Every structure is written in structure tokens, then in C-alpha cells.
Amino acid sequence: MTRSLRIATAALLACAGAAHAQDANLGRNLAATCANCHGTNGQARGDTVTALAGMPAERLITTFNAYKNGALPATIMHQIAKGYTDDQLKAIAAFFAAQPAKK
């Protein structure tokens, strides 16, 4: 790939990002459905539930899927996990990974 093509590609990607500003909020909106138990932006209050803020995306996806397929026992997460699609899970995981970890 030539340098100019690389720049053009980068510019195109930037534009695509701007054009899909709504998609940029997808992870934010989906992750907000978790806040009631896991805290605003994943910054959980108390020590009872896992704080999701700052968790690497891969770890969140793996754990979530383990709940979904029953590999990881749970009281409630196995039932909730089945309500989200793989794409939605990815968007949620990316959002939480980008949040500052709980202090």
C-alpha cells in the first residue's frame, strides 16, 4: 500500500466514523442496560458485583459467553446473557474496556 493510499484510507475511515456517529453510541447505549447492577459506566458500587469498567474486552466476552453456554454457573447472568447478540456483546465489551477502572 502506497503512502498516499494509506492516508486516503485513514481519511475514509475517519469519515466513515463521523458518518456513523450513531453507531459510536451503540456500545454506550447497550452498556447502560448493565448499569442498574454493575454501576454507571461499569463503575460498580460496593464489592458484591464485578466492576466492568476497564475490563479487557476479550475477558468480558469470554466470561459472558461462558454464562451464555452454561459453562460458568450463575444465579442470574446465564439468563440475561442469552438476551444479547454476539455483535451487541462486542459493542458492550469495547465500551467497558475503554472506561477508566473503578478507583
Strands (E), the chain: none
Q: Is 15 exposed, middle or buried (0-12, 13-18, 19+ CB in 10 A)?
A: exposed
Nearest by Cα to 85 from 61, 51, 52 = 61
Q: Which of 4, 18, 19, 103 binds another protein (CB under 8 A)?
A: 18
Provide the mask over 22-61, with x wherever binding to another protein is found by CB under 8 A and - wherever it is not: x-xxx-xxx-xx-xxxxxx---xxx-xx------------
Q: Interacting stretch for another protein, rule CB under 8 A, among 1-9, 53-61, 80-88, 94-102?
A: 80-88
CB-based contacts of 82, cutoff 8 Å, min separation 6: 68
Residues that bind another protein (CB under 8 A): 18, 21-22, 24-26, 28-30, 32-33, 35-40, 44-46, 48-49, 75-76, 79-84, 88
